[in-house]
Amino acid sequence: DTAVSQTPKYLVTQMGNDKSIKCEQNLGHDTMYWYKQDSKKFLKIMFSYNNKELIINETVPNRFSPKSPDKAHLNLHINSLELGDSAVYFCASSRGTGATEAFFGQGTRLTVV
Amino acid sequence: AQSVTQPDIHITVSEGASLELRCNYSYGATPYLFWYVQSPGQGLQLLLKYFSGDTLVQGIKGFEAEFKRSQSSFNLRKPSVHWSDAAEYFCAVGAENTNAGKSTFGDGTTLTVKP
């Protein structure tokens, strides 16, 4: 009965590869997010989707492409991975665009070697 | 622009001792304030939030926080810390009817609990 689930939990890959992280929420929320947490634990918003539409797109390289097939899913695809992409990526959701609190998944630790 | 400062990068307390984690914010209107906890290897979990009303808010796991507008602070407290409280704590500020993605997080405070 996990609320926000991400897969995989750990991902180790070589530079230049393309990888995807999947996220699903069963809370019935309309809005989903991707956050990046770097090695110093700084947390930054990357993207936000509301009902499958992109509403927040922070300054993120276009190698990162979110995809939302439906409002319960928000996947993150990363092309041409670089060493600096190594981080923990969190998916989150909230009731709507006006809901200020977010519910987070357990994170995906991405290591690029 | 809104901002959040958590002055203490790392705090160590003994089990059973009281705890206070500091959070200062900058926001032009009435802020929405949050404390999240991140246990090792886990995602962030909301401890408590303040939108309006009583300035002392109670949260989960025995935590409370007090909103002080005059000091632009929202400090988190717990009277008696348990070893399981060792974690990273994030303060965040947002605004009414604003997407959670627009909330600004502090840089976090790492709490270590000594036996």
Main-chain phi, psi angles of B15, to 5 degrees: -60, 135
Residue range A14-56, pLDDT digits in tens: 999 999 999 999 999 989 999 999 988 899 989 888 888 888 7
Closest CA–CA distance from residue A64 to any residue of chain B (Å): 17
Q: Chain B: nearest CA to A111, how far in angstroms? A: 15
Give the percent of chain A with pLDDT over 90.
67
Q: Is the pLDDT of residue B82 over 90?
A: yes
Report residue B94's pLDDT band, with 50, 70 and 90 as the boundaries.
confident
Distance of CA B68 to the CA centre of its chain: 13
Strand ranges for B31-108 from DSSP E: 32-38, 44-50, 56-58, 64-68, 73-78, 87-94, 104-105
Assign A1 a pLDDT band (cuts: 50, 70, 90).
low
Chain A positions touching B43 (Cβ under 8 A) are 4, 90, 92, 104-107
Q: Measure the CA–CA gap between A78 and A92, rounded to whole angstroms.
A: 18
Among B90, B94, B105, the residue with its CB nearest the CB of A100 is B94
Residue B99 touches partner A, C-beta closer than 8 Å? yes
Q: Which of B36, B38, B100 has the CB atom closest to A100's CB atom?
A: B100
Q: What's the angle, vertex CA A111, arms to CA B101 and CA B41, rounded to 5?
A: 60
Query: What radius of gyration do chain A's Cα atoms show?
Result: 13
Confidence tier at B89 by pLDDT (50, 70, 90): very high
Mean pLDDT of B15-27: 96
Q: CATH number of the domain at A4-112, out of 3.40.50.1820, 2.40.10.10, 2.60.40.10, 3.30.300.30? A: 2.60.40.10
Distances (CA, A) of B48 to A102, B10, B58, B63, B97: 12, 21, 7, 8, 18
Q: Look at B98 and A94 and tell me if their CB atoms are within 8 Å.
A: no
Residue A22 to residue B66: CA distance in whole angstroms: 37
Q: Which chain B residues are Cβ-neighbours of A43 within 8 angstroms?
A: 44, 90, 105, 108
pLDDT at A40: 87
Condensed to tens digits (0 to 9), the pLDDT of residues A103-113 reads 999 999 999 99
- A1 vs A13, residue with greater confidence: A13
Contacts of A44 in chain B (CB under 8 A): 105
- pLDDT value of residue A65: 93
What was the pLDDT predicted at B24?
97
Domains of chain B as residue ranges with CATH: 3-114 (2.60.40.10)
Q: What residue spans define the domains of chain A?
A: 4-112
Please tell me which residue, A74 or B30, carries the higher pLDDT value: A74
Structure confidence at residue A99 (pLDDT): 58
Nearest Cβ partner for B108 among A33, A41, A104: A41
Residues of B in contact with A4 (CB under 8 A): 43
pLDDT at residue B51 above 90? no
